[in-house]
A and B are shown apart, each in its own frame.
Chain A
């Protein structure tokens, strides 16, 4: 079985640009959440989605948005990129929103120059 897949694996963008990151959960998993991990820090919660609805939002500016599709895959969008947005973006899936068995994808490493 495929695990959580994220694309692209690496990305370089310039300040002010927009970026879209993609995540496909484990087959059968309906909940997807997004995290930002800056070097030397633990992952920070950005969003959680379940059945296409936003179920939780972390302390991130409105430049960050996400959505979940009928097939439970998800996209994270970041507008007006700043240098400080450079980080590893992780996606995690779980069977349902109350389930704590989170599996992480290998992440997208975003560099903003």
Chain B
């Protein structure tokens, strides 16, 4: 089983739709959680952190469920510019440093 699992998609949605992505992680000792966005042939960029209390940034809402080892990202009112791959990232302290484990990514295509 992979340490971090995501549905690869693609998710094809019309502009204005609400779309949700899920991510599960296997290591219960994982400490911090993030969503990154990666555009085609570009580097990943931090989208938002994920907390148990949930956090919102404009149209984006992230949620962590530690008991179920599950992370989610909700995008409301999708824009064409939201088309990208969304990577779930889990961080665990290891050997004095941080080990980032990425999911495979979920591809989103927002269409007119």
Interface residues of A (CB under 8 A from B): 31, 33, 35, 40-45, 48, 50, 55-58, 90, 92, 97-98, 100-107
Contacts and interface: CB of A to CB of B under 8 A. Distances in A.
Interface string B90-110: 010011111111111100000
**Dominant SS at the B interface?**
strand
Interface residues of B, number: 24
Contacts, number: 64
B54 interface: no
Contact of B32 (A57, A90, A100): A100
Contacts of B45: 104
Given A43-B44, A102-B46, A106-B42, A58 B98 contact: no
A55 B94 CA distance: 8
Interface of B: 4, 8, 32, 34, 42-46, 49, 87, 91, 94-105
A41 B98 CA distance: 20
A24 to B, nearest CB: 14
B95 to A, nearest CB: 5
CB-CB nearest 8 A-B residue pairs: A55-B97, A42-B102, A56-B97, A104-B43, A48-B97, A55-B96, A43-B102, A106-B43
